[in-house]
Each structure stands twice: as structure tokens, then as C-alpha cells.
Amino acid sequence: MRGYYIAGNWKMHKTRAEAAELAKALVEQLRDGKHKYLVAPSFTLLETVGPLLKGSNIVLGAQNMAAEEQGAHTGETSVLQLKDLGVGTVILGHSERRHVYKEDDALINKKVRLALKQGLDVILCIGELLEEREAGNAEAVCETQTVKGLEGVSAEDLSRVTLAYEPVWAIGTGKTATPEDADAIHGSVRAVIRRLYGESAAQRIIIQYGGSVKPDNAAQLMAKENIDGALVGGAALKADSFVPIAKFA
């Protein structure tokens, strides 16, 4: 039986003081939460937020990482540095990394395999652009990103991978895929996992939805058969909006 997994991606927001205030509020207010939780602050905030999450039911996540363990890579952050800070999970392949910073499937796959090799869990993001959806290619795009993102990932390591479907046209725009549209893509992605790894893996893998998730649409989305949680952006920046999503009824 799959549980729900609610993750907050803070993106490039918050000072250390602001991050500490939010982390403390979430630890307090999610203490009795029944699901799995994660927050992913900016790299500069990990050392501040990590100790505040210790002993809580919230995992410390990172928003990205380099494709190499270490070396002459100015401006990058290594998986070893993330582990040193207590990071347990890394978000990879987010649409902003794909489309703004031009990361391709091969680079994202290299990062996925390195993260898993070093013992981190992975949230692998997939999702189509508006023009891809309008051309009827949404499922094909998500299938390609899933297959290429998981290339070389063993069935055993797949148990440490969560998928996050984020239609790019719905991120931060206020637009949301209808619960039915989102569930249809989630179902098709689960079918890809079934083909690659078998029925048991397909039933176990958690597939989050991301894209303008809010307190007033979270329960509707989570009610769908193939939606197992949320990767929350803007609404994750305040306890008042993230906690109702995390505790959806």
C-alpha cells in the first residue's frame, strides 16, 4: 500500500532567519501529520534548517546536485557535501533545471545514478510543456523522461526513487491540471514502470503531482487513484498554506 508523500520545494527563497522560522513552524504543526514530509531549501539554508528538522517527521531535501562527486566544478554542489549536511533526498530534473538551465535527460540520469550510488533518495521530476500537451504528446514526453531518467537504475534502487509529475505550464502559473488529467498521466507513467520493472514495482512507486498545488485543491488531487502526494512550490513558502496541503483530509 502506497502512502502519501508531500514535499515542499522552497526554490530560491528565504534568508537563514526566515528559513529557520518556517522550519520551526512546520516541525511543530506537522508533528501529528500522518504522511511522509520533505522540505528542500536552497543550498545556503541546508546547514540552518537541517538541525531544526532532526528528530522530526520531516526529511531534509536538496533541490539539485552536481553530476560529479567532487573536483574543479566552480559553482556546483556535490553529493558528498549534501550528505555531510544531513540531506536525505535530492530533487532532480525539475522543469526549471530542464528548460531554464538546459539540463538534458542524459545529465539528469547521471545525477540520478550518482545520488543513488551515494545513498540518497531521489525525487525525479517529469512533465510536458504547454505546446507538447496541445500537440497531444504529453504522455510520450513523460514516458521518454521517465525511461531516460531511470536508465541503469536497478529494481532495488528504484525503491528509493519517487517520481513527480509537473506539467510545466502549471508551475507557478495558478493553472492546475484537472485531477482527471493529472491522474491520466500518472496512470500512464505507472504503466511505464510496470513495463520496465514489473507489477509490484508499479504498485509501490510513489508519483507526486506538482503544479500550483494549493490547500483548496490538494484533497481533490490526492483522491485520485494514481496520485500519491505533491511536490509543492509557492504554497510551501508559508506554514499557513503548506500545512493544510500536508494534512489534507
Per-residue pLDDT tens digits of the chain, which is 249 residues long:
799 999 999 999 999 999 999 999 999 999 999 999 999 999 999 999 999 999 999 999 999 999 999 999 999 999 999 999 999 999 999 999 999 999 999 999 999 999 999 999 999 999 999 999 989 999 999 999 999 999 999 999 999 999 999 999 887 777 778 999 999 999 999 999 999 999 999 999 999 999 889 999 999 999 999 999 999 999 999 999 999 999 998
Helical residues (DSSP H) of the chain, grouped into ranges: 16-29, 46-53, 79-84, 95-99, 105-117, 130-134, 138-149, 155-158, 179-197, 199-204, 218-222, 239-246
Catalytic residues: 94, 166
- Beta-carbon contacts of residue 82 (< 8 Å; ≥ 6 apart): 46, 62, 65, 90, 120
Residue 228's domain comprises 5-246
Q: Is the pTM of this model over 0.85?
A: yes
CATH number at residue 125: 3.20.20.70
Is the dihedral angle over the CA atoms 11, 17, 23, 28 positive or is it negative? negative
**Count of structural domains within the chain:** 1
